[in-house]
Protein backbone atom coordinates (compact mmCIF):
# COMPACT_ATOMS: atom_id res chain seq x y z
CA UNK A 1 0.00 0.00 0.00
CA UNK A 2 1.48 3.32 -1.09
CA UNK A 3 0.35 6.93 -1.26
CA UNK A 4 1.49 9.71 -3.59
CA UNK A 5 2.48 12.80 -1.58
CA UNK A 6 4.04 15.66 -3.50
CA UNK A 7 6.61 14.08 -5.79
CA UNK A 8 7.24 11.12 -3.47
CA UNK A 9 5.52 7.79 -3.12
CA UNK A 10 5.05 6.89 0.53
CA UNK A 11 4.79 3.27 1.67
CA UNK A 12 1.99 3.59 4.18
CA UNK A 13 2.73 0.52 6.28
CA UNK A 14 6.24 1.92 6.89
CA UNK A 15 4.75 5.27 7.96
CA UNK A 16 2.34 3.46 10.27
CA UNK A 17 5.24 1.57 11.82
CA UNK A 18 7.10 4.84 12.36
CA UNK A 19 3.98 6.33 13.91
CA UNK A 20 3.66 3.49 16.41
CA UNK A 21 7.40 3.59 17.07
CA UNK A 22 7.40 7.31 17.91
CA UNK A 23 4.43 6.79 20.26
CA UNK A 24 6.49 4.07 21.99
CA UNK A 25 9.37 6.56 22.31
CA UNK A 26 7.05 9.08 23.97
CA UNK A 27 5.56 6.43 26.22
CA UNK A 28 9.00 5.16 27.21
CA UNK A 29 10.04 8.69 28.22
CA UNK A 30 7.03 9.06 30.53
CA UNK A 31 8.59 6.49 32.91
CA UNK A 32 5.77 3.92 32.74
CA UNK A 33 5.63 0.82 34.99
CA UNK A 34 8.75 -1.40 34.75
CA UNK A 35 7.22 -4.20 32.67
CA UNK A 36 5.98 -1.67 30.12
CA UNK A 37 9.41 -0.07 29.95
CA UNK A 38 11.10 -3.46 29.46
CA UNK A 39 8.71 -4.28 26.61
CA UNK A 40 9.15 -0.93 24.83
CA UNK A 41 12.93 -0.69 25.12
CA UNK A 42 13.41 -4.27 23.96
CA UNK A 43 12.83 -3.25 20.35
CA UNK A 44 11.63 0.32 19.75
CA UNK A 45 15.00 1.93 18.91
CA UNK A 46 16.25 -1.05 16.85
CA UNK A 47 12.91 -0.77 15.02
CA UNK A 48 13.75 2.80 13.98
CA UNK A 49 17.04 1.60 12.51
CA UNK A 50 15.24 -1.23 10.69
CA UNK A 51 12.77 1.27 9.25
CA UNK A 52 15.65 3.56 8.27
CA UNK A 53 17.18 0.67 6.34
CA UNK A 54 14.06 -0.16 4.33
CA UNK A 55 14.78 2.24 1.47
CA UNK A 56 18.41 3.08 2.17
CA UNK A 57 20.69 3.06 -0.88
CA UNK A 58 24.10 1.62 -0.06
CA UNK A 59 25.52 2.35 -3.52
CA UNK A 60 25.14 6.13 -3.17
CA UNK A 61 28.40 8.09 -3.65
CA UNK A 62 29.98 8.58 -0.25
CA UNK A 63 30.51 12.35 -0.60
CA UNK A 64 26.93 13.02 -1.66
CA UNK A 65 25.60 10.86 1.17
CA UNK A 66 27.81 12.68 3.67
CA UNK A 67 26.45 16.09 2.61
CA UNK A 68 22.83 14.97 2.51
CA UNK A 69 22.84 13.20 5.86
CA UNK A 70 24.75 16.02 7.54
CA UNK A 71 21.94 18.34 6.44
CA UNK A 72 19.01 16.08 7.37
CA UNK A 73 20.41 14.52 10.57
CA UNK A 74 23.16 16.70 12.06
CA UNK A 75 21.45 20.04 11.45
CA UNK A 76 18.32 18.96 13.41
CA UNK A 77 20.59 17.44 16.07
CA UNK A 78 22.41 20.72 16.70
CA UNK A 79 19.40 23.04 16.31
CA UNK A 80 17.06 21.10 18.58
CA UNK A 81 19.73 20.35 21.16
CA UNK A 82 20.09 24.11 21.52
CA UNK A 83 16.30 24.49 21.69
CA UNK A 84 16.09 21.85 24.44
CA UNK A 85 18.99 23.47 26.29
CA UNK A 86 17.20 26.83 26.27
CA UNK A 87 13.96 25.16 27.35
CA UNK A 88 15.65 23.41 30.28
CA UNK A 89 17.35 26.64 31.32
CA UNK A 90 13.97 28.44 31.33
CA UNK A 91 12.42 25.70 33.47
CA UNK A 92 15.20 25.98 36.05
CA UNK A 93 15.03 29.78 36.00
CA UNK A 94 11.27 29.71 36.67
CA UNK A 95 11.46 27.13 39.47
CA UNK A 96 15.05 26.97 40.75
CA UNK A 97 14.10 25.17 43.97
CA UNK A 98 12.58 22.20 42.14
CA UNK A 99 15.29 21.45 39.55
CA UNK A 100 19.03 20.94 39.39
CA UNK A 101 20.95 23.75 37.63
CA UNK A 102 21.64 23.20 33.94
CA UNK A 103 25.32 22.66 33.13
CA UNK A 104 25.36 24.76 29.97
CA UNK A 105 29.02 24.08 29.15
CA UNK A 106 28.60 20.31 29.30
CA UNK A 107 25.40 20.42 27.27
CA UNK A 108 27.09 22.52 24.58
CA UNK A 109 29.99 20.08 24.48
CA UNK A 110 27.49 17.25 24.08
CA UNK A 111 25.92 19.11 21.18
CA UNK A 112 29.28 19.65 19.48
CA UNK A 113 30.57 16.10 19.99
CA UNK A 114 27.39 14.03 19.79
CA UNK A 115 28.33 12.38 23.08
CA UNK A 116 25.44 10.60 24.73
CA UNK A 117 26.92 9.64 28.08
CA UNK A 118 27.73 11.23 31.42
CA UNK A 119 27.55 15.00 31.86
CA UNK A 120 27.62 15.54 28.10
CA UNK A 121 24.46 13.56 27.59
CA UNK A 122 22.32 14.39 24.58
CA UNK A 123 18.73 13.17 24.52
CA UNK A 124 18.83 13.33 20.70
CA UNK A 125 21.58 10.69 20.50
CA UNK A 126 19.73 8.77 17.77
CA UNK A 127 20.43 11.37 15.07
CA UNK A 128 24.26 11.26 15.09
CA UNK A 129 24.03 7.52 15.68
CA UNK A 130 21.99 7.04 12.50
CA UNK A 131 24.32 9.40 10.63
CA UNK A 132 27.41 7.38 11.56
CA UNK A 133 25.69 4.00 11.05
CA UNK A 134 24.62 4.91 7.52
CA UNK A 135 28.14 6.11 6.67
CA UNK A 136 29.54 2.84 8.03
CA UNK A 137 27.14 0.80 5.92
CA UNK A 138 27.95 2.69 2.72
CA UNK A 139 31.65 2.57 3.54
CA UNK A 140 31.46 -1.22 3.88
CA UNK A 141 29.73 -1.44 0.51
CA UNK A 142 32.39 0.61 -1.25
CA UNK A 143 35.13 -1.35 0.51
CA UNK A 144 33.57 -4.58 -0.75
CA UNK A 145 33.54 -3.11 -4.26
CA UNK A 146 37.24 -2.26 -4.00
CA UNK A 147 38.16 -5.71 -2.73
CA UNK A 148 36.13 -7.36 -5.48
CA UNK A 149 36.30 -5.09 -8.58
CA UNK A 150 34.63 -7.71 -10.76
CA UNK A 151 31.62 -7.66 -8.47
CA UNK A 152 31.55 -3.87 -8.54
CA UNK A 153 31.40 -3.78 -12.33
CA UNK A 154 29.07 -6.64 -13.07
CA UNK A 155 28.36 -8.82 -10.10
CA UNK A 156 27.06 -8.18 -6.61
CA UNK A 157 29.34 -7.21 -3.71
CA UNK A 158 26.51 -7.64 -1.25
CA UNK A 159 27.65 -10.95 0.31
CA UNK A 160 31.01 -9.42 1.28
CA UNK A 161 29.52 -6.12 2.43
CA UNK A 162 26.87 -8.01 4.39
CA UNK A 163 29.66 -9.86 6.17
CA UNK A 164 31.26 -6.52 7.04
CA UNK A 165 27.97 -5.15 8.39
CA UNK A 166 27.36 -8.18 10.58
CA UNK A 167 30.95 -8.05 11.83
CA UNK A 168 30.57 -4.36 12.74
CA UNK A 169 27.31 -4.98 14.56
CA UNK A 170 28.74 -7.89 16.57
CA UNK A 171 31.81 -5.80 17.42
CA UNK A 172 29.49 -3.04 18.64
CA UNK A 173 27.54 -5.43 20.87
CA UNK A 174 30.80 -6.85 22.27
CA UNK A 175 32.04 -3.33 23.03
CA UNK A 176 28.76 -2.31 24.69
CA UNK A 177 28.61 -5.54 26.68
CA UNK A 178 32.19 -5.65 27.97
CA UNK A 179 33.32 -2.01 27.86
CA UNK A 180 30.16 0.07 27.88
CA UNK A 181 31.79 3.49 27.73
CA UNK A 182 29.98 5.87 25.39
CA UNK A 183 31.87 7.33 22.43
CA UNK A 184 31.51 10.59 20.44
CA UNK A 185 28.81 10.73 17.76
CA UNK A 186 27.16 7.70 19.40
CA UNK A 187 29.79 5.58 17.63
CA UNK A 188 29.35 2.65 20.02
CA UNK A 189 25.62 2.43 19.31
CA UNK A 190 26.17 3.10 15.60
CA UNK A 191 28.24 -0.08 15.24
CA UNK A 192 25.36 -2.08 16.72
CA UNK A 193 22.86 -0.26 14.49
CA UNK A 194 24.53 -1.40 11.25
CA UNK A 195 23.03 -4.85 11.79
CA UNK A 196 19.52 -3.40 12.03
CA UNK A 197 20.01 -1.28 8.90
CA UNK A 198 20.94 -4.53 7.16
CA UNK A 199 17.80 -6.14 8.57
CA UNK A 200 15.70 -3.32 7.12
CA UNK A 201 17.17 -4.00 3.68
CA UNK A 202 16.36 -7.68 4.06
CA UNK A 203 12.77 -6.96 5.11
CA UNK A 204 12.18 -5.31 1.72
CA UNK A 205 13.44 -8.48 0.03
CA UNK A 206 11.26 -10.80 2.09
CA UNK A 207 7.57 -11.38 1.61
CA UNK A 208 6.46 -11.38 5.24
CA UNK A 209 2.87 -11.85 4.15
CA UNK A 210 3.54 -15.43 3.04
CA UNK A 211 4.61 -16.61 6.49
CA UNK A 212 2.10 -18.92 8.20
CA UNK A 213 0.48 -18.18 11.55
CA UNK A 214 2.80 -20.57 13.38
CA UNK A 215 5.83 -18.55 12.23
CA UNK A 216 4.44 -15.44 13.91
CA UNK A 217 3.42 -17.39 17.00
CA UNK A 218 6.99 -18.65 17.40
CA UNK A 219 8.35 -15.13 16.75
CA UNK A 220 6.05 -13.71 19.44
CA UNK A 221 7.12 -16.42 21.89
CA UNK A 222 10.81 -15.70 21.22
CA UNK A 223 10.24 -11.97 21.63
CA UNK A 224 8.43 -12.30 24.96
CA UNK A 225 10.82 -14.87 26.42
CA UNK A 226 14.00 -13.02 25.42
CA UNK A 227 12.60 -9.70 26.61
CA UNK A 228 11.75 -11.15 30.01
CA UNK A 229 15.13 -12.88 30.27
CA UNK A 230 16.95 -9.62 29.53
CA UNK A 231 14.73 -7.83 32.04
CA UNK A 232 15.56 -10.23 34.86
CA UNK A 233 19.23 -10.59 33.88
CA UNK A 234 19.57 -6.82 34.39
CA UNK A 235 18.07 -7.01 37.87
CA UNK A 236 14.37 -6.32 37.05
CA UNK A 237 12.89 -3.25 38.73
CA UNK A 238 13.44 -0.19 36.53
CA UNK A 239 16.37 -1.82 34.69
CA UNK A 240 15.90 -2.50 31.01
CA UNK A 241 17.71 -2.82 27.70
CA UNK A 242 18.69 0.64 26.46
CA UNK A 243 20.76 1.12 23.32
CA UNK A 244 21.48 4.75 24.21
CA UNK A 245 23.32 3.75 27.41
CA UNK A 246 24.97 0.57 26.06
CA UNK A 247 22.77 -1.55 28.35
CA UNK A 248 22.00 -4.59 26.19
CA UNK A 249 21.48 -7.42 28.67
CA UNK A 250 22.24 -10.83 27.19
CA UNK A 251 23.76 -10.16 23.73
CA UNK A 252 21.93 -12.99 21.92
CA UNK A 253 18.66 -12.16 23.65
CA UNK A 254 19.14 -8.50 22.74
CA UNK A 255 19.22 -9.35 19.04
CA UNK A 256 16.37 -11.88 19.24
CA UNK A 257 14.07 -9.50 21.14
CA UNK A 258 14.90 -6.53 18.90
CA UNK A 259 14.42 -8.49 15.66
CA UNK A 260 11.32 -10.31 16.89
CA UNK A 261 9.57 -7.17 18.10
CA UNK A 262 10.46 -5.27 14.92
CA UNK A 263 9.20 -8.03 12.62
CA UNK A 264 5.96 -8.41 14.57
CA UNK A 265 5.19 -4.69 14.46
CA UNK A 266 6.07 -4.39 10.77
CA UNK A 267 3.85 -7.35 9.88
CA UNK A 268 1.04 -5.90 11.99
CA UNK A 269 1.28 -2.60 10.11
CA UNK A 270 1.28 -4.45 6.78
CA UNK A 271 -1.88 -6.25 7.87
CA UNK A 272 -3.48 -2.92 8.82
CA UNK A 273 -2.57 -1.58 5.40
CA UNK A 274 -4.07 -4.58 3.65
CA UNK A 275 -7.28 -4.20 5.65
CA UNK A 276 -7.41 -0.50 4.79
CA UNK A 277 -6.85 -1.24 1.10
CA UNK A 278 -9.84 -3.59 1.06
CA UNK A 279 -12.14 -0.90 2.44
CA UNK A 280 -10.69 1.90 0.30
CA UNK A 281 -8.42 4.79 1.26
CA UNK A 282 -11.36 7.17 1.71
CA UNK A 283 -12.78 4.94 4.45
CA UNK A 284 -9.62 4.84 6.56
CA UNK A 285 -10.20 5.28 10.27
CA UNK A 286 -9.08 8.36 12.12
CA UNK A 287 -6.69 6.17 14.12
CA UNK A 288 -4.98 4.99 10.95
CA UNK A 289 -4.68 8.52 9.59
CA UNK A 290 -3.28 9.66 12.94
CA UNK A 291 -0.61 6.94 12.79
CA UNK A 292 0.32 7.99 9.26
CA UNK A 293 0.63 11.62 10.36
CA UNK A 294 2.77 10.65 13.35
CA UNK A 295 5.01 8.52 11.17
CA UNK A 296 5.52 11.23 8.56
CA UNK A 297 6.40 13.77 11.24
CA UNK A 298 8.31 11.49 13.60
CA UNK A 299 11.57 13.46 13.30
CA UNK A 300 10.18 16.77 14.56
CA UNK A 301 8.14 14.93 17.23
CA UNK A 302 11.30 13.19 18.42
CA UNK A 303 13.22 16.47 18.51
CA UNK A 304 10.59 18.50 20.37
CA UNK A 305 8.64 16.12 22.60
CA UNK A 306 10.74 16.74 25.70
CA UNK A 307 9.46 20.32 25.99
CA UNK A 308 5.71 19.61 26.32
CA UNK A 309 6.51 16.50 28.37
CA UNK A 310 8.47 18.55 30.90
CA UNK A 311 5.55 20.98 31.10
CA UNK A 312 3.22 18.03 31.64
CA UNK A 313 5.41 16.74 34.49
CA UNK A 314 5.22 20.15 36.18
CA UNK A 315 1.41 20.21 35.84
CA UNK A 316 1.10 16.67 37.16
CA UNK A 317 3.30 17.37 40.16
CA UNK A 318 1.33 20.50 40.98
CA UNK A 319 -2.20 19.18 40.46
CA UNK A 320 -2.26 15.39 40.90
CA UNK A 321 -2.65 15.43 44.68
CA UNK A 322 -5.58 17.85 44.36
CA UNK A 323 -7.47 16.07 41.61
CA UNK A 324 -6.90 12.41 42.53
CA UNK A 325 -7.78 10.53 45.66
CA UNK A 326 -5.06 9.72 48.17
CA UNK A 327 -5.87 6.00 47.91
CA UNK A 328 -5.23 6.01 44.15
CA UNK A 329 -1.96 7.91 44.47
CA UNK A 330 -0.87 5.53 47.21
CA UNK A 331 -1.24 2.60 44.81
CA UNK A 332 2.09 2.95 43.04
CA UNK A 333 1.44 0.87 39.87
CA UNK A 334 -1.90 2.57 39.24
CA UNK A 335 -0.52 6.05 39.91
CA UNK A 336 2.51 5.42 37.68
CA UNK A 337 0.34 4.14 34.85
CA UNK A 338 -2.08 7.07 35.17
CA UNK A 339 0.79 9.59 35.22
CA UNK A 340 2.33 7.97 32.16
CA UNK A 341 -0.97 8.07 30.26
CA UNK A 342 -1.53 11.72 31.17
CA UNK A 343 1.97 12.72 30.00
CA UNK A 344 1.57 10.80 26.73
CA UNK A 345 -1.76 12.42 25.85
CA UNK A 346 -0.65 15.87 27.01
CA UNK A 347 2.54 15.67 24.91
CA UNK A 348 0.69 14.47 21.81
CA UNK A 349 -1.86 17.28 22.18
CA UNK A 350 0.77 20.01 22.41
CA UNK A 351 3.05 18.55 19.77
CA UNK A 352 0.43 19.01 17.01
CA UNK A 353 0.73 22.83 16.76
CA UNK A 354 4.52 22.56 17.20
CA UNK A 355 4.75 20.23 14.19
CA UNK A 356 2.60 22.60 12.14
CA UNK A 357 4.80 25.59 13.01
CA UNK A 358 8.03 23.76 12.17
CA UNK A 359 6.70 22.34 8.91
CA UNK A 360 5.32 25.66 7.72
CA UNK A 361 7.90 28.20 8.86
CA UNK A 362 11.01 26.33 10.07
CA UNK A 363 11.63 23.40 7.70
CA UNK A 364 15.30 24.38 7.47
CA UNK A 365 15.71 23.13 11.05
CA UNK A 366 14.98 19.64 9.66
CA UNK A 367 17.42 20.10 6.79
CA UNK A 368 14.57 20.64 4.33
CA UNK A 369 14.02 23.42 1.80
CA UNK A 370 11.47 26.08 2.68
CA UNK A 371 8.13 24.77 1.47
CA UNK A 372 4.58 24.62 2.72
CA UNK A 373 4.47 20.89 2.17
CA UNK A 374 4.85 18.62 5.17
CA UNK A 375 8.40 17.24 5.35
CA UNK A 376 8.46 13.47 5.48
CA UNK A 377 11.27 12.35 7.70
CA UNK A 378 11.81 9.90 10.49
CA UNK A 379 14.11 9.51 13.48
Domain ranges of the chain: 2-366
**Per-residue pLDDT band at 262 (split at 50, 70, 90):** very high
More confident residue, 4 or 78: 78
Phi, psi of 186 (to 5 degrees): 55, 35
Q: Is the pLDDT of residue 283 over 70?
A: no
Range with the poorest average pLDDT among 66-80, 140-154, 183-197: 140-154
Predicted local confidence at residue 378, as pLDDT: 54
Average of per-residue pLDDT values in the chain: 87
Predicted local confidence at residue 374, as pLDDT: 45
pTM greater than 0.85 (yes/no): yes
Phi, psi of 123 (to 5 degrees): -70, -10
Q: Is the pLDDT of residue 7 over 50?
A: no
Q: Is the pLDDT of residue 9 over 90?
A: no
Predicted local confidence at residue 325, as pLDDT: 65
The percentage of residues in the chain with a pLDDT greater than 70, rounded to a whole number, is: 87
Q: Is the pLDDT of residue 16 over 80?
A: yes
Q: Is the pLDDT of residue 116 over 60?
A: yes
Predicted local confidence at residue 94, as pLDDT: 82
Tell me how far the alpha carbon of residue 277 is from its chain's centroid. 27
**Per-residue pLDDT band at 326 (split at 50, 70, 90):** low
Predicted local confidence at residue 75, as pLDDT: 96
**Per-residue pLDDT band at 4 (split at 50, 70, 90):** very low
Q: Is the pLDDT of residue 376 over 60?
A: no
Amino acid sequence: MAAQIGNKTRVEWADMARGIAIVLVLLGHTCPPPYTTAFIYAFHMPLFFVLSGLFFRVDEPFGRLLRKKARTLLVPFVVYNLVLLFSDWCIVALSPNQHEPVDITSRLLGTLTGWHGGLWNSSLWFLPCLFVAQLLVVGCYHLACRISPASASGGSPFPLSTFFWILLSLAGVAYCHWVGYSLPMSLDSAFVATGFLLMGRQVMRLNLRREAWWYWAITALIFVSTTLDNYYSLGAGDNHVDLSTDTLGQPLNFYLAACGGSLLLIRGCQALGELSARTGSLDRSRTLNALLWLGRNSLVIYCLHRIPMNLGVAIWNAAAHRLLSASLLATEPAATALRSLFLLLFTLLLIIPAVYIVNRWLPWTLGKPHTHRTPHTHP
